[in-house]
Structure 1
């Protein structure tokens, strides 16, 4: 029987958690749905990743207001994907921060990504009528910048290509806490449709070099303590490497995309098949890994039409 397209069949609301992972540092998580980080300083608040719609963003705001009444001054975007950015207007922030590359990706493929993800995640886009349009960063940087929330410093950095070419992390040095976006996941599949597989491991090494006491990952539970931080980083590495090795071996011998998918099934289903959004991500991950193995460095733009074509080829 054909699988329901992407997450179109996942209509169950997820249980929300709001977990303190350091002093005045919080992770908003929802059972494998996109996470949001909250950084509270002396005089203001920074939000890391905005959610897919103002409706979902308002759920984050409600949680923030249980712990502080300080103004939300900054929304920081770890990357350009619609499920991360289109809720930004709900926070009333004075600045929206992202990497230069992230902003260029909004310009290049933001509308196509919105249309694509709308079809993949109907539950996340309930209330989409309130989205005012594409989310455009008002401040960008090439490699690093620091933002001061009063005395609290937040270091924003591009530490390498991984989930997308424009990924950034937020490091709060006074607490040793890192907000990674989708560079790190926990018991959730990595979406690799816009990834750079061969770079991702080195980027994880750069994440590890911070020696974080806690991480707010892109999906999955908040991570507090050395053991679970290490587990999440290494599981993410294994997920990415396992997919790429299986696909690249097929591509190297001239095998087809369908054969690449079968190779990934054999290696990855036993290890990761129970991860959140694993089946959703599967065809997009295989397609991007196949392209990269053939030397295509820049991920091809996903459209609603291409989504369905790849799904039919690999999941139909």
Structure 2
């Protein structure tokens, strides 16, 4: 394991299983325990080997507090494709919007096939090879489940309170932003917030759905909670300073990107120009910086007057081709 990787206690009865540096598929998960009573799992991972590793690492912690609740923070497969590794009797919760998006996502078998084609296409010159190269980056060697995992069986619209033994977990839907169904879980008695992919820390975030204003509003909400510890979907645990820095990133992307859009600069060139600017320096060391290209493709679509919506396969392929081209050319 790398430094900072694995199970870490972050408050009384609260743990995070961390996967630094937080790039593609390197998803953080959580565990909330009321000793002698019950436990909640926050998110599951798409790599079957890692899902088993997480379950094994937490076995002793739930010996006298069985897992009765599971939470999926949104519809990306790296946050719920491990649902088959949780106890069958545990209830799985997500937002209504996330649940609907989960039903529309490509199944694991299709993503596996797509990734294999990408590996074969990687050496090819041009857009096909660019997509293949980036698909390999996205998969990152993960082994996906063979079939669609268990879907959530409980949903909520805006807010929900779940009692884990005597502990309260406050859920709030703050999407659409990164995806259609982004939600957070606040554990007030521990001062901990599990933010899902509304927080990427030290890892470049991706705007797949939008609008961006919703994401910035969600960050304002996280800041207002004034928690002691925030667990991002990707990257190390953090405090308010890191949340504010992510908000500063999006504010810069919004302003600088819109200037390029208004000037008629194509989105990929806009992303390259922005990454070469002095304003990018505070964010340049975040992993996967080329993901700015993916977010810019979404923003250009929104600025062109199209409605916020989940990415189609065609949109993802086009964005992956642009990001793959950037990586292969060392830009």
Q: Who is 1:257 aligned against? A: 267
Q: Please tell me whether residue 278 in structure 1 is matched to residue 267 in structure 2.
A: no
Contact 2:93 2:155 in 1 (8 A): yes
Q: Which moved more, 1:60-69 or 1:209-218?
A: 60-69
CA distance in 1, matches of 2:110, 2:207: 17
Contact 2:48 2:82 in 1 (8 A): yes
Count of residues paired in the alignment: 296
Q: Who is 1:310 aligned against? A: 322
**Closer, same or farther: CA 82–230 of 1 in aligned 2, 3 Å:** same
**Closer, same or farther: CA 211–78 of 1 in aligned 2, 3 Å:** same
* Structure 2 residue corresponding to 1:35, chosen from 22, 28, 38: 28
Q: Structure 2 length as normaliser, TM-score? A: 0.81
Q: Who is 1:6 aligned against? A: none
Contact 1:23 1:175 in 2 (8 A): yes
**Closer, same or farther: CA 244–282 of 1 in aligned 2, 3 Å:** same
5+ residue gaps, structure 1, are 1-12, 224-228
5+ residue gaps, structure 2, are 116-134
Contact 1:258 1:313 in 2 (8 A): no
CA distance in 1, matches of 2:209, 2:223: 22
Shift of 1:121: 2.8
Question: Structure 2 matches for 1:1-316, cutoff 5 A?
Answer: 14-15=2-3, 16-31=5-20, 32=22, 33-42=26-35, 43-69=37-63, 70-93=65-88, 94-111=90-107, 115=111, 118=115, 119=135, 120-123=137-140, 125-126=142-143, 128=144, 130-223=145-238, 229-267=239-277, 269-279=280-290, 281-296=291-306, 297-302=308-313, 305-311=317-323, 315=327
CA distance in 2, matches of 1:209, 1:103: 27
Task: Report the secondary structure of 1:34's partner residue.
Answer: coil
Shift of 1:152: 1.0
Q: Which moved more, 1:295-304 or 1:197-206?
A: 295-304
Superimposed CA distance per residue, residues 140-184 of structure 1 (whole angstroms, 9 cap, x where no aligned partner):
110111111111111111134332221101111222211101112
**Closer, same or farther: CA 113–187 of 1 in aligned 2, 3 Å:** farther
